[in-house]
Amino acid sequence: MNEQSTVPLAEGAVTGPAGTSARLDAVSASTVPSRAAEPTGYGSLWRGVPRELGFLLLTMPIAIVGLSVLASLFWTGLGTIVIYVGFFIVVATFYTARAFGIVELTRLDWAGRPAIPRPVWEPADQPRTFWRILFGPWANGHYWLYLLHGMIVNPIVSIVSWSITITWTATALGGLTGWLWLGFIPTGNRDFFLSRVVVDSIFGIHSTFDPVAGDRILYLIAGILFAVTLPFVTRGLTLLHHAVARGLLGAWPSEALQREVADLSAQRGAAVAAEDQSLRRLERDLHDGPQQRLIRLQMDIAAAERKLTDDPEAAASLLAEARKQAGDTLEELRALSRGFAPPILQDRGLGAAVDSLAARSTVPVTVESSLQPGERFSPEVERNAYYVLAELSANLAKHSGATAGRLVLDRTVDSAGRPWLSVWLNDNGRGGATMVPGHGLSGLAERVHGLRGELVLDSPVGGPSVLGARLPLA
């Protein structure tokens, strides 16, 4: 690399693959899914009750406030649209509905539900102008759906879910604590006791047991039943809100397809650019190294031929120099080939190739790997992973000022079951690495992006830092 693109990390800052992986995950959480698979046991349902209750209890107040604000703005805007003021009021209503929708999506995230993809409100390749802000919401269907959600759907669903939540929670709490507060309620001339009504209606008899004690037992049983089923109720109602939000507030499948097409186009462009840069660099290295040596070798052999009959000793000296030039050229060609696909990579795999890379480094480097012995990947993944580490190792020796480094290989599986290969280098150098267009790190980023992976850089001045690449294995 021809830039100071080091990835230093203070010695001892990371003790192994798990620690470094956690740090790399924190830096790159925006691109690789990281939500763990959701537990489905009864205990996990109870663990989600506090958040779900907090979500459900606030649902109706927020929905009623949203209905009041949106309805007031919308109908006022429609009523005054003939004098043009209403046009701006309706536009304000759209943006207000969008704000309430974002609040609902954020609350669902907080409640522990899977994140709903957000809509694309404005094209990224178009400037944000006053006229687009003013007229854009009228033509964007998401604004109308958010308005429908805030004015009609969410208030109705919220009233139902809030009522069920209050009833279920109050019954559970009241029944479980009835033994405490029922004794303070005066009976007087009271002749209606729920326990007697239930027993008489079920068994068809006229019961004679103590009705006060019967009510306490009945309330306790009801409280236990409602408490046991409370996690299912809160989870079901939260899922209901999540389904409504996914249908009205989430991105459309066509938008995801458009983003996928754009991303694939960008990745293809990145791959082409990275390949072009690699070819240019190979051409430069061949021109500056082996080609010059071969020219010198050709000139030495020609001079030796001329002196072969007149001055055999001088010819022998020239031939010896030519032999040395041939050896240096061969070694340089081997070094160039090792930077792309060394034979050990093809024969024994990535792990052995990285061990060999660390052994040749001029800076002491250790290798830490979670890969199984002899584990192999596709040739493209192994070749590009090795290329990334080789570039980082070369940069370690040239620019980092480090006295030690660590190469790490780690194979992980995300929540969707997709396998990833993470490779990175950390060292105890001086930090301050940046991506400069057209230089080493930028070329690496394009190469990795072309493989649908990502290059992550975390390099504060003075360190510690980490530079890593994630490559999909599927």
Which amino acid belongs to residue 96?
Answer: T
DSSP codes joined into one string, 391-425: HHHHHHHHHS--S-EEEEEEEEE-TTS-EEEEEEE
Is 246 within the bounds of a domain?
yes
The pair of three-digit structure tokens given for residue 352, joined into one six-digit string: 């052995």
Decide if 407 is inside a domain: yes
DSSP run (H or E) holding 141: helix 141-148
Structure token pair of residue 218? 């009945």
In the Cβ-directed half-sphere of 381, how many Cα atoms lie within 13 Å?
21
Length of the chain: 474
pLDDT at 126: 67
| b/e 363-400 (16+ beta carbons within 10 angstroms → b) | bebebbbebeeeeebeeebbbbbbbbbbbbbbbbebbb
- Return d(Cα 147, Cα 128) in angstroms, integer: 22
User: Cα 376 vs. chain centroid, distance in angstroms?
Assistant: 26
Q: What is the pLDDT of residue 317?
A: 77
Q: In this structure, are 92 and 221 located in the same domain?
A: yes
In a domain, 169, yes or no: yes
Structural domain includes residue 299: yes
Nearest to 182 by CA among 174, 191, 171: 174
Q: Is residue 209 part of a domain?
A: yes
User: What does DSSP assign to residue 371?
Assistant: S
- Do 56 and 238 touch, CB atoms closer than 8 A? yes
Whether 298 and 349 share a structural domain = no
Which domain range does residue 125 map to? 38-251
Instruction: Round to whole Å and give the CA distance between 249 and 142.
Output: 7
Residue type, 184: F
CA distances 33 to 37, 253, 305, 379, Å, are: 11, 18, 67, 25
CB-count burial class (<10 Å; 0-12, 13-18, 19+) for 439:
middle
Domain final residue pick, 299, 321, 338? 338
Per the CB < 8 A criterion, the answer to whether 86 and 80 are in contact is yes
Is there a domain that residue 1 lies in?
no
Instruction: Looking at the structure, tell me whether residues 288 and 404 fall in a common domain.
Output: no
Strand 454-458 vs strand 466-472: parallel, antiparallel, or unpaired? antiparallel
Q: Are residues 276 and 236 in the same domain?
A: no
**Residue 154 neighbours by CB under 8 Å, 6+ apart:** 63, 66, 67, 104, 244
Residue 205, in any domain of the structure: yes
Q: What is the CATH number of the domain that holds 453?
A: 3.30.565.10
Taking phi over 0 as left and psi of -120 to 50 as alpha, with beta for the rest, 56 belongs to: alpha
Query: What is the tally of helices (H) and strands (E) in the chain?
Result: 17, 5
pLDDT for the residue numbered 466: 81
DSSP state of 37: P
Same domain, residue pair 438 and 405: yes
Same domain flag for 324 and 402:
no
**β-pair type (365-369, 405-413):** parallel
Residues 350 and 369 in one domain: yes
Looking at 183-252, list the stretches that DSSP marks H as alpha helix, in order from N- to C-terminal side.
Answer: 194-203, 211-248
Same-domain pairing of 463 and 348: yes
Final residue before a domain boundary, out of 338, 357, 380: 338
Rounded distance, CA 59 to CA 207, Å? 44
Domain count, the chain: 3
Q: pLDDT tens string for the chain (474 positions)?
A: 334 333 333 333 444 444 445 555 544 443 333 444 455 688 888 999 999 999 999 999 999 999 999 999 999 999 998 888 999 999 999 999 999 999 999 999 999 999 998 887 876 656 778 888 888 888 888 999 999 999 999 999 999 999 999 999 999 998 888 777 766 676 666 666 666 666 667 766 666 666 666 777 777 888 899 999 999 999 999 999 999 999 999 888 766 555 665 555 555 655 555 555 555 665 666 666 666 767 777 777 777 777 777 777 777 777 777 777 776 666 666 655 555 556 777 778 888 888 888 888 888 888 888 888 878 888 888 888 888 888 888 777 776 777 788 888 988 888 777 888 888 888 787 777 776 665 667 777 777 877 778 888 877 777 667 888 888 886
Same-domain pairing of 68 and 101 = yes
Query: Tokens representing 42?
Result: 């009864």
| Same domain assignment for residues 277 and 230 | no
Residues near 167 by Cβ (< 8 Å), separated by ≥ 6? none
8 inside domain: no
Q: Looking at the structure, tell me whether residues 226 and 246 fall in a common domain.
A: yes
Q: By C-alpha distance, which of 421, 425, 431, 434 is closest to 389?
A: 425
Residues 30 and 173 grouped into a single domain: no
Which of 307, 338, 369 is the last residue in one of the domains? 338
CA dist 268 and 447 (Å) reads: 10
Q: Hey, what amino acid is at 84?
A: Y
